[in-house]
Chains A and B, each alone.
Chain A
Amino acid sequence: MEKTILLAKSNFRKNKGTSIGLFLLMFMAAMLVGVSLLIFLDAYPTAAKEAKRLDAGDGYLWIGEDLDGIDDEFIEDLLGADTEKYETYRCLGYSNVSLPFGNGNVAPGLIVYDSAAFETKMNRTEIVKEDISITEGYIYLPYQFNTSGGYELGDTYTFELLGKKYSFCVRGFINTTYFGCNNTGNYEFILDDKSYDELFERDGSVAETIIISFKLKEDVNPGSFRIRVGNDVLSQNPGALALAALLPDTISNKTFLSLILAASFLTLTIIIVVVIALMLSNSIANYIRENMKTIGALKAIGYTGRDIIGSLFALFITLSCIGSLIGAGFSYTLMPVMTKIIVGQMGVPYTVSFNPICSIIPVVFVVLFTFFVTLIAAGKIRKIHPIVALREGVENHNFKRNHIRLDKSVFGINISLALKSLFTNMKQNTITFFVTGLLMFVCVVALLMYENFSRNPKLGILTFETCGGVVAFDYETKEDALKYLEARNDVSNIRSMIMLNLNYNNEDRLVTYIFDDVTKMNNKEVCYKGRLPEYDNEIAVSGRFAKQYGYAIGDEVKLDYGSKKHSYLITGLVQTCNNSGKEAVMSEKAAQHLIDFEYSPAYYWFDCDDAKASQKILDEALEKYGNHVVSAMNFFDTLEGNMTTFKDISTLMLVLLCSISAVVIVLILYLLIKAFIYNKRRDYGIYKAIGYTSGSLVLQTALSFMPSIVFAAAVFSVASYYAANPYMSMVMRGFGLMKCNFYIPVPGVIIIAIGMVTVAFIFALIQSGKVRKIESYQMLIGE
């Protein structure tokens, strides 16, 4: 054992640079695997864990707008038979409220409570942090307002409800399962009792709402239950608004953005880890080749193959153990950066804590991988004779062809010799080619995410329809308001669109977008197959829904709303990330088979120049129609608010993945060029002796690695351009996006390719500078 350690120490001393390079690769592999595992196994499930801890039950039912006939007795009849327990509380509820958030606004549903919200037994609301010195005129905001919205304790939060502005001092941030995240469509505010009473006094008659949290009996199908309770409430009071949400949908909506990013990060990490693994195996094999002479000497003086292999294992396993342990540990320090955005976006408090699985797996992975690579690479040592090892193994050259004959070459001597090196080092160059290519792909995907989620958000993916603003009028004024909007010069493409939950087969629901004229849709790309519906018997359903229930274009699907049912012909498939990918679109004529819109409010979607124009239109409509305006949304502001977290994440991903790629390329070039120079040191001595300058040899060496890098950057930039969308489709299929067509900016791809080649060339030049240290004289006389 002692002699093994002695040899291992000697190996390390002799190959410090390579050992440190390998150590860094092991460290990075462990760190990336650790971060991915922590995101997936620790951070991502936080929303579900918190829901369980807060006893969120199986869902909630929101009944609002008109509560006539909705009393305790009705609720007991409605829920008693199917639930283990439920809890009812009355509060104020508002639809599509424009709330300042981040750099813009969001437009969710909003429920407003008083301090009684903290006393519920089911679906508890907890304070994440508060400032108890604030005693009046205060508000508790969902935690997401702190993590992503940019608000702090003591800030003043101003918003508007039914045309009146309110300002409160932020006393605290709350953790709530169903009303804490914009992606679930609803927020919850808690006011001090006095402020709440005043608000109730003003808005109670129109905004009083009942929220019922429920826990279903085991044998109750949640989908059917949701449809039944919605229908029963409408039967009791057709004027009531009844929305039932289920916990799995809420969790899915809360986490889908995080999951998209976590999944993207994981798959890209896997590519980087494959690259690292590839390099690790190549470097260990190189390491052994470089030390062949020492191995021969040791064998000659009586060391057995087992002794030598043991020392290599001792070195590499020690390196991998230390590297992976530090890497796994370091993943915890990287987590706050990742989770601040990813988990913060869910609106759920999360603190990174030690997770044994996420720490052990990276270590085991790296150590086992190193073990097997060493086992395979070191196996040859057993068979090699001392004299062969002393001659540094059998020289292997490719004698098939004399590549780039110097007398026939069209290039100068330096480039010709660099090309010769390229061909004689085909293995290294093949590795460089694939490594650069895969990293290029990683960067292009990161660019795609940055471009479509941050720089120029791909709205069609995040929202079913885009516009400049939305203003809704009650049924009394809707026709007059339409004429008013049409008469304005700053408004264009006005279309009426309303969302409705249609039920399918008593087991699922489709969030259906109903347009007066589907041809006016801005986001026609939402239909990725077939066509959008035109006639009153047509519908386009989401690809995810069609796949789940076995429908195709041309099939008929029967949907119901309340007591009415109707069959529609599927004309196309649509895709979105919202509502778990369960969405549909149809014309108003088609929807009239199920619902009468005469007394419904009208939601007018319009286009306009910018946020300022939109706000002007909305303000003037509010001024003209007052309380007849049911809802108003400046789409530009809302989008900005919604995109705040997404922008941060995708920018971080681009920076992180490009940096990691640059570090990996640099490390790989370090190891490859180091091995290359070592193996070619005799040739460098000869070149120097016959009159080649160090500068030209440095250039030759660096250039010999460049063709594979340039070629990979060129080939993979084109390949990645075409493969990135299919890759995203694969990753995002689970969220409802069946066929991605994200925009990939060609200049961005070119910049990445040039950047990668430049980084590689600069580092190759720096690393090749070691050729300067080779003294031809000392090399030639064997010193």
Chain B
Amino acid sequence: MNTLIKTNKLCKTFSSGGNMQHVLKNIDMEIYEGDFTIIMGASGAGKSTLLYALSGMDKPSLGEITFGDKDITKMSTDELAFFRRKNCGFVFQQVYLVDSMSVFDNVMAAGLLTNKNKKEVAEKAKEILKSVDIEESLWDKFPTQISGGEAQRVGIARALINSPGLVFADEPTGALNSKTGKDVLDALTAFNESGQSIVMVTHDITSARRGNRVLYVKDGEIAGECNLGKYVHGDKERHQKLSDFLISMGW
């Protein structure tokens, strides 16, 4: 398997009023191409901090993050922006669509960053929106006029419009009910099955089951790793393996 991301002694420290808080401690890890990697851990363990550091959204305090053959910790803010638009897609818990833009334009706004050909981008946007089950009648609506589940699937479409090397998802089902949450996970799973690499932070065991590899973060370190293999719906043995792993981690 090809390595997409590799970290070397990754640290993140916050200081507040003279107090130093070490959120990530010397993390060495790898993310592989084609994987649906899950990052789990208790609240405050540092999973979101790790996700945003890996994606170049936040700068680590120390250490290296190599994405392909490039150390993104040495990149400037603008270089990181170019890096993200080409290599990363993001799905957030709070969706974060631009409210003043239509659903379609939210996807287009991301797509036009890497491709100046509006026609091509529009065609791709339509294709992806259809693939996440967003009906055409919703395309001209604004984010506040659609449901949370629909908005999150638009978020996924936006994340995928540039065919990124890796999609980062931060608790994508955290703000959704179980039905709409399942729809979102189904969409992500389907994309992963078609070869899309995904890193997802979650504290929800149902969501975590979708991944083939689970990393457990505890006190700023990778405390353990569990390889689940390819997701198969209703595979009880797989579910049990994950449960056992989480229990062993003190979940």
A residues within 8 Å of B by Cβ? 395, 397, 399, 402, 405-409, 412-413, 417, 420-421, 424, 682-683, 685-695, 772, 775-777, 780-781
Contact = CB atoms under 8 A, between A and B. Distances in A.
A777 B108 contact: no
A407 B100 CA distance: 16
A686 B57 contact: no
B113 A692 contact: yes
Contact of B96 (A399, A682, A692, A693): A682
Contacts of B121: 407
A395 B90 contact: no
Contacts of B110: 690-691
B86 A406 contact: no
A397 B101 CA distance: 10
A417 B108 CA distance: 11
Interface of B: 48, 52, 57-58, 77-78, 81-82, 84-86, 88, 90, 92, 94, 96-102, 104-105, 108-110, 112-114, 116, 118-119, 121-122, 125, 140, 142, 144-145, 158, 162
Contact of B112 (A406, A693, A777): A406
B100 A397 contact: yes
B84 A399 contact: no
A397 B141 CA distance: 12
A694 B158 CA distance: 20
A216 to B, nearest CB: 74
Contacts of B88: 691
Contacts of A409: 118
B133 to A, nearest CB: 21
16 contacts: A397-B100, A402-B101, A407-B119, A407-B122, A408-B118, A412-B116, A413-B116, A685-B96, A686-B96, A689-B92, A690-B84, A690-B85, A691-B86, A693-B82, A695-B78, A777-B58
Contact of A399 (B58, B98, B142): B142
A777 B57 CA distance: 6
A682 B145 CA distance: 18
A407 B58 contact: no
A531 B144 CA distance: 70
Nearest to B164: A691
A397 B57 CA distance: 29
Given A395-B99, A683-B98, A402 B81 contact: no
Contacts of B145: 399
A318 B57 CA distance: 42
A776 B99 contact: no
Kindly list the 4 A-B residue pairs having the minimum CB-CB distance in the complex, ordered from nearest.
Answer: A691-B85, A407-B122, A406-B108, A777-B58
Given A413-B109, A685-B96, A693-B81, A407 B144 contact: no
B104 A689 contact: no
B6 to A, nearest CB: 21
Contacts of A407: 104-105, 108, 118-119, 121-122, 125
Contacts of B98: 683, 686-687
Contacts of A777: 52, 57-58
A145 to B, nearest CB: 65
Nearest to A414: B112
Contacts of A683: 98-100
Nearest to B102: A402
B99 A406 contact: no
A402 B116 CA distance: 21
Given A405-B105, A420-B100, A691-B84, 15 more contacts: A405-B104, A407-B105, A407-B122, A420-B101, A424-B100, A683-B100, A686-B96, A686-B97, A686-B98, A690-B90, A691-B113, A694-B81, A777-B52, A777-B58, A781-B52
A395 B112 contact: no
A128 B48 CA distance: 81
Given A691-B113, A692-B81, A780 B99 contact: no
User: Most B CB atoms within 10 A — which of A407, A687, A780, A781?
Assistant: A407
Contacts of A780: 52, 57, 92, 94, 96
Interface centre among B90, B96, B110, B144 (most CB of A within 10 A): B96
B109 A691 contact: no
B81 A405 contact: no
Contact of B144 (A397, A402, A413, A781): A397
A583 to B, nearest CB: 63
A417 B86 CA distance: 20
Indicate the member of A405, A686, A694, A775 with the most B CB atoms within 10 Å. A686
A691 B84 CA distance: 5
Contacts of B48: 781
Contacts of A402: 101-102, 104-105, 140, 142
A655 B94 CA distance: 52
Contacts of B57: 689, 776-777, 780
A399 B112 CA distance: 23
B129 to A, nearest CB: 12
B222 to A, nearest CB: 21
A699 to B, nearest CB: 13
A78 B214 CA distance: 119
Contacts of A421: 100
A595 to B, nearest CB: 80
Nearest to B79: A693
B162 to A, nearest CB: 8
Contact of B78 (A685, A686, A687, A694): A694
B78 A693 contact: yes
A72 to B, nearest CB: 90
Contacts of B118: 406-409
Contacts of B82: 691, 693
Contact of A397 (B77, B86, B99, B113): B99
A704 to B, nearest CB: 11
A683 B90 CA distance: 14
B180 to A, nearest CB: 21
A695 to B, nearest CB: 6
Nearest to A421: B100
Contacts of A417: 109
A687 B140 CA distance: 20
A51 to B, nearest CB: 65
Contacts of B142: 397, 399, 402
A776 B92 CA distance: 12
A689 B112 contact: no
Contacts of A781: 48, 52
B196 to A, nearest CB: 17
A207 to B, nearest CB: 83
B93 to A, nearest CB: 9
A777 B116 CA distance: 27
